[in-house]
């Protein structure tokens, strides 16, 4: 069975500092990997996805993630965060044949002034 | 273009009642998925529909059901509501396979069962 582990439930960081949100997955088959962001009282918005090809994926709002197959990780990074990045971030995996996501438990990013 | 529309946004129901939630996908999208989000369990997959056919169903009791209409609009129904059904219910639409084409989420329906 697939699973996703987000190692940090909360990450406080000062504005303009870099941040890394960690995500590990387990799966016995090839998977697709995603990061979504959820702002308060909103739905989820796709930040970036890895389907195949280059292991470094660039997304919206200056975020990027690197797929590491040997470590089964897909960590999200941003070199300089803004107050507006305060939100909850979800890592997700999908088995292409199942038409569903398996989500991690989320990481609350709080950017401090 | 208009996004995914979920109605109603907020709902309060009493234990034992039933509820129907609606999702209108982005025009041209034929896949609609539903997820339940709670603080304790996080985001859990309910079901996915494509062209009126359910392609997958999550591990929820039979009280949770859904359907999709010919215009791709979808509804989910929860019968005999329990306190634990209080959650944010999110709908997502995509062109075809939601995991190779982008899935767009609605703002959700927040259901409170009292």
pLDDT score, position B98: 62
Query: How would residue A113 be classed by pLDDT, with cut points 50, 70 and 90?
Result: very high
Chain A interface, Cβ < 8 Å to B:
32, 34, 36, 41-46, 49, 51, 90, 94, 96, 98-106
Minimum CA–CA partner of A40 in chain B: B107
pLDDT score, position A99: 82
CA angle B85, A106, B1 (to 5 degrees): 80
Residue B7: both structure tokens together: 């109605």
Cβ-defined contact of A99 to B102 (cutoff 8 Å): no
CA pair distance B77, B65, nearest whole angstrom: 5
CA pair distance B113, B81, nearest whole angstrom: 7
Residue A88: both structure tokens together: 């909850």
Cβ-defined contact of B48 to A106 (cutoff 8 Å): no
Q: Is the pLDDT of residue A110 over 70?
A: yes
pLDDT score, position B99: 67
Q: pLDDT in tens for each of the 114 residues of chain B? A: 679 999 999 999 999 999 999 999 999 999 999 999 999 889 999 999 999 999 999 999 999 999 999 999 999 999 999 999 999 999 999 888 766 667 899 999 999 999
Minimum CA–CA partner of B102 in chain A: A46
> Strand pairing partners for B35?
B45, B90
Q: Is the pLDDT of residue A9 over 80?
A: yes
Q: Is the pLDDT of residue A85 over 70?
A: yes
pLDDT score, position B96: 80
CA pair distance B16, A39, nearest whole angstrom: 32
Q: Is the pLDDT of residue A6 over 90?
A: yes
Rounded to a whole number of angstroms, the CA Rg of chain A reads: 13
Of residues B55, B100, B106, nearest to A43 (C-beta): B106
Of residues B42, B100, B102, nearest to A103 (C-beta): B42
pLDDT score, position B24: 98
Of residues B56, B90, B108, nearest to A99 (C-beta): B56
Taking all residues of chain A, what is their mean pLDDT, rounded to a whole number? 92
Interface check B54 vs A, CB under 8 A: no
Condensed to tens digits (0 to 9), the pLDDT of residues A11-49 reads 999 999 999 999 999 876 777 899 999 998 889 999 999
CA atoms within 13 A on the CB side of B114: 5
Listed in sequence order, the residues at least 6 apart from B48 whose beta carbon sits closer than 8 Å to its beta carbon are: A99, A100, B31, B32, B33, B34, B54, B55, B56, B98
Condensed to tens digits (0 to 9), the pLDDT of residues A39-84 reads 988 899 999 999 888 889 999 999 999 999 899 999 999 999 999 9
């Amino acid at each position: 069975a697939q699973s996703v582990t987000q190692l940090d439930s909360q990450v406080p960081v000062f504005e303009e500092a870099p941040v890394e949100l960690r995500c590990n997955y387990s799966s016995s088959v090839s998977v697709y990997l995603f990061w979504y962001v959820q702002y308060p009282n909103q739905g989820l918005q796709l930040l970036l996805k890895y389907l195949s090809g280059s292991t470094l994926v660039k997304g919206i709002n200056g975020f990027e993630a690197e797929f590491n197959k040997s470590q089964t990780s897909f960590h999200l990074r941003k070199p300089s965060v803004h107050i507006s990045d305060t939100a909850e971030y979800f890592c997700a995996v999908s088995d292409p044949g199942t038409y569903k996501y398996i989500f991690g438990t989320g990481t609350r990013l709080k950017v401090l002034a | 273009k208009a996004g995914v529309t979920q109605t109603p946004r907020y709902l309060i129901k009493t234990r034992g009642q039933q509820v129907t939630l609606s999702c209108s996908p982005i025009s041209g999208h034929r896949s609609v998925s539903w997820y339940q989000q709670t603080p304790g369990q996080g985001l859990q997959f309910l079901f996915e529909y494509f062209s009126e056919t359910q392609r997958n169903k999550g591990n929820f009791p039979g009280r949770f059901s859904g359907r999709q209409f010919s215009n791709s609009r979808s509804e989910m129904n929860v019968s005999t509501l329990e306190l634990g059904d209080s959650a944010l219910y999110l709908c997502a639409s995509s062109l075809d396979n939601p995991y190779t084409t982008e899935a767009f989420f609605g703002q959700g329906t927040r259901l409170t069962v009292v």
